[in-house]
């Protein structure tokens, strides 16, 4: 079927003869005549116009560009790259769906300037690696798709009920948040101390570099987010038990384990990676294997039941922080789970000691990344997207939807810290602020000296001074 949209575009009549076949009289050659070079009196100019492209502005689109309110193009039939009196119409070709869900790319706020790093990657565009026998999948974000995200990389992984992420270890450290379901995690450290725990949605774990471990989904299956402290990390380069065994001479394996050669006749020739397994016993004690070193001390636990930590309520939502103060083993990863109510915003801030790796769990959002001296780019985010904000680069995260926005902020540091623009300005002598920013007294009187984390939504006109 011919597309009505295709035939309505101004360039369609030029391209369609080439697309749909030759005119009556035979098939033209692949290349044209030299007579088509440059000007000739016989050249024709199309009389089709692209000046009159109908569209209906969405709320806020006719306001001055520097007001920069969020433009909701999701239900707009023909969104256009226009804000206030800047921009112009787009006759195509275009990907309408991308334009509808990325309004701040199509019609950016007038305060955007130049081009920052690409601070957005949808996991939905990552190549999905599928487990054996419908046992699960994994997709990743790293420097291959976000070249500037050098400090951290992430993996979104799903295991069906009973499935394993096979025995393995990494050169990088592994920090994880369980997104849904539950799983059993097990590990043995360099001292021979063993660890086993069951974790559920909202819980976290951390395995230091080189510590071998395994993950098995319980009856509900599980999906979890993995963050590694190396932007070049790839799941394809993990040290796997199957590969270790496959690449040792069997005579060496027999000597190492004091077993006959025949014991290794059936070891896998290829990695298993994600594969179905025997369901874990309900009684976790049955898998609590220990040697002379005993179990891992509680103070060095590889898991933290973050799901049971009450959220700290703030004006526009809530925040929960987990770092080495309460999870001591996590010496180089700190995180905040943030909820922003509709209309609210994670306040403008920056992290002085680390880049920020962000994963959007639910809701719709946008953020402006500001890089010194004057570069700013605004990005739109959906569930499953990764955001990345370099160290000391300021940004906010605004809820642009009508439901709660939930996202995870991850830092490569032992303690979660940030600097809030509002607290800095509010804690600076008012005369200095007035001389620098030319704010009226009515605005100076409303500045706050406390960090807000999340500010409540309000209409732009409500805060005018």
Q: Are residues 294 and 359 in the same domain?
A: no
Do 157 and 165 contact (CB within 8 A), yes or no?
A: yes
Kindly tell me if the per-residue pLDDT of 198 is higher than 90: yes
d(CA 108, CA 340): 22
Domain span holding position 205:
126-304
Q: Are residues 291 and 432 in the same domain?
A: no
Q: Which of 23-32, 45-54, 291-300 has the lowest mean pLDDT?
A: 45-54
- Per-residue pLDDT, 463: 39
**Peptide bond before residue 164 is cis, with ω within 30 degrees of 0:** no
pLDDT single digits (tens) 432-458: 999 999 999 999 999 999 999 999 987
Residue 74 inside a domain? The answer is no
Kindly tell me if the per-residue pLDDT of 124 is higher than 70: yes
- Per-residue pLDDT, 21: 47
Domain endpoint, select from 259, 287, 304: 304
Residue 235 inside a domain? The answer is yes
Closest CA to 187 of 209, 161, 219: 209
pLDDT single digits (tens) 91-112: 989 999 999 999 999 999 999 9
Residue 365 inside a domain? The answer is yes
Kindly tell me if the per-residue pLDDT of 16 is higher than 60: no
Rounded to the nearest 5 degrees, what angle is found at the Cα of 395, between the Cα atoms of 364 and 175?
Answer: 75
Q: What is the mean pLDDT of the chain?
A: 92
Domain endpoint, select from 277, 304, 331: 304
Q: Are residues 299 and 164 in the same domain?
A: yes
Buried b (16+ CB within 10 A) or exposed e, 133-148: eebbbbbbbbeebbee
Quickly state the pLDDT bin for 460 (edges 50, 70, 90). low
Q: Are residues 287 and 314 in the same domain?
A: no
d(CA 411, CA 357): 7
Rounded to the nearest 5 degrees, what angle is found at the Cα of 261, between the Cα atoms of 258 and 262?
Answer: 120
Residue 196 inside a domain? The answer is yes
Q: Are residues 293 and 155 in the same domain?
A: yes
Burial of 170 (0-12, 13-18, 19+ CB in 10 A): buried
Tokens (6 digits) for 166: 């096979």
d(CA 159, CA 412): 27
Q: Are residues 288 and 316 in the same domain?
A: no
Tell me the H-state helices in 9-63: 12-20
Euclidean distance between the first and the last CA atom of the chain, given in angstroms as a whole number: 57
d(CA 5, CA 19): 15
- Per-residue pLDDT, 19: 47
Kindly tell me if the per-residue pLDDT of 185 is higher than 80: yes
- Per-residue pLDDT, 6: 41
Q: Are residues 276 and 318 in the same domain?
A: no
Quickly state the pLDDT bin for 3 (edges 50, 70, 90). very low
Per the annotation, binding residues for Mn(2+) are 168, 170, 174, 213, 349, 351, 356, 395
Q: Are residues 294 and 322 in the same domain?
A: no
pLDDT single digits (tens) 202-212: 999 999 999 99
Determine the length of the chain.
Answer: 465
pLDDT single digits (tens) 305-354: 999 999 999 999 999 999 999 999 999 999 999 999 999 999 999 999 99
Q: Are residues 333 and 226 in the same domain?
A: no
CATH number at residue 431: 2.60.120.10
- Per-residue pLDDT, 464: 36
228 Cβ partners below 8 Å, 6+ apart?
A: 152, 153, 154, 155, 170, 172, 173, 174, 175
Do 69 and 111 contact (CB within 8 A), yes or no?
A: no
Residue 230 inside a domain? The answer is yes
- Per-residue pLDDT, 459: 54
Residue 415 inside a domain? The answer is yes
Coil vs helix vs strand at 131: coil
Residue 328 inside a domain? The answer is yes
Closest CA to 69 of 107, 109, 34: 109
Tokens (6 digits) for 452: 């807000």
Quickly state the pLDDT bin for 46 (edges 50, 70, 90). confident
Residue 270 inside a domain? The answer is yes
Does the annotation mark 409 as catalytic?
Answer: yes
- Per-residue pLDDT, 458: 72
pLDDT single digits (tens) 238-249: 999 999 999 999
- Per-residue pLDDT, 18: 46
Q: Are residues 225 and 368 in the same domain?
A: no
Q: Are residues 257 and 157 in the same domain?
A: yes
- Per-residue pLDDT, 23: 55
Q: Where are the beta strands (DSSP E) in 34-119?
A: 82-83, 86-87
d(CA 368, CA 380): 9
Active-site residue among 141, 235, 271, 409? 409
d(CA 267, CA 253): 11
- Per-residue pLDDT, 1: 37
Q: Are residues 281 and 395 in the same domain?
A: no
């Amino acid at each position: 079927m011919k597309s009505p949209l295709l035939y309505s575009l101004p360039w369609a009549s030029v391209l369609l003869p080439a697309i749909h076949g030759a005119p009556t009289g035979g098939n033209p050659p692949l290349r044209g005549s030299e007579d088509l070079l440059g000007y000739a009196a016989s050249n024709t100019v199309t009389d089709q116009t692209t000046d009159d492209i109908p569209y209906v502005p969405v709320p806020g689109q006719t306001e001055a560009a520097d007001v920069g309110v969020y433009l909701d193009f999701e239900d707009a039939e023909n969104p256009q790259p226009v804000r206030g009196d800047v921009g112009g119409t787009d006759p195509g070709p275009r990907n309408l769906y991308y334009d509808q869900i990325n309004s701040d790319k199509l019609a950016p706020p007038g305060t955007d300037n130049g081009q920052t790093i690409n601070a957005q990657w949808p996991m939905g565009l990552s190549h999905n690696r599928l487990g054996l026998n419908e046992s699960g999948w994994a997709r990743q974000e790293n420097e291959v798709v976000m070249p500037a995200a050098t400090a951290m990389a992430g993996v979104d992984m799903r295991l069906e009920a009973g499935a394993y992420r096979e025995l393995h270890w990494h050169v990088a450290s592994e920090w994880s948040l369980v997104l849904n379901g539950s799983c059993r995690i097990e590990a043995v450290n360099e001292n021979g101390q063993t660890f086993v725990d069951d974790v559920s949605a909202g819980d976290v774990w951390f395995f230091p570099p080189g510590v071998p471990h395994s993950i098995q989904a319980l009856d509900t299956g599980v999906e979890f987010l993995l963050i590694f402290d190396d932007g070049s990390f790839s799941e394809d380069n993990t040290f796997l038990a199957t590969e270790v065994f496959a690449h040792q001479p069997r005579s060496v394996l027999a000597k190492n384990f004091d077993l006959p050669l025949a014991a290794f006749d059936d070891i896998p020739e290829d990695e298993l990676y994600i594969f179905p397994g025997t369901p874990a016993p309900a009684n976790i004690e049955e898998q609590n294997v220990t040697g002379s070193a005993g179990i891992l001390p509680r103070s060095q636990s590889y898991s933290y039941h973050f799901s049971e930590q009450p959220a700290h309520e703030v004006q526009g939502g809530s925040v929960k922080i987990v770092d080495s103060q309460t999870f001591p083993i996590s010496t180089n990863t700190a995180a905040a789970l943030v909820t922003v109510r509709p209309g609210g915003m994670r306040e403008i801030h920056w992290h002085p000691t680390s880049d920020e790796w962000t994963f959007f769990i639910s809701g719709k959002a946008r953020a402006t990344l500001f890089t010194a001296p004057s570069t700013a780019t605004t990005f739109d985010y959906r569930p499953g997207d990764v955001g990345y904000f370099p160290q000391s680069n300021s940004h906010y995260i605004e809820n642009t939807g009508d439901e709660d926005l939930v996202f995870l902020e991850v830092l490569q540091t032992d303690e979660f810290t940030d600097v809030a623009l509002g607290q800095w300005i509010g804690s600076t002598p008012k005369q200095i602020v007035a001389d620098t920013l030319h704010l009226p007294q009515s605005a100076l009187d409303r500045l706050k000296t406390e960090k807000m984390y999340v500010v409540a939504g309000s209409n732009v006109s409500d805060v005018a001074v």
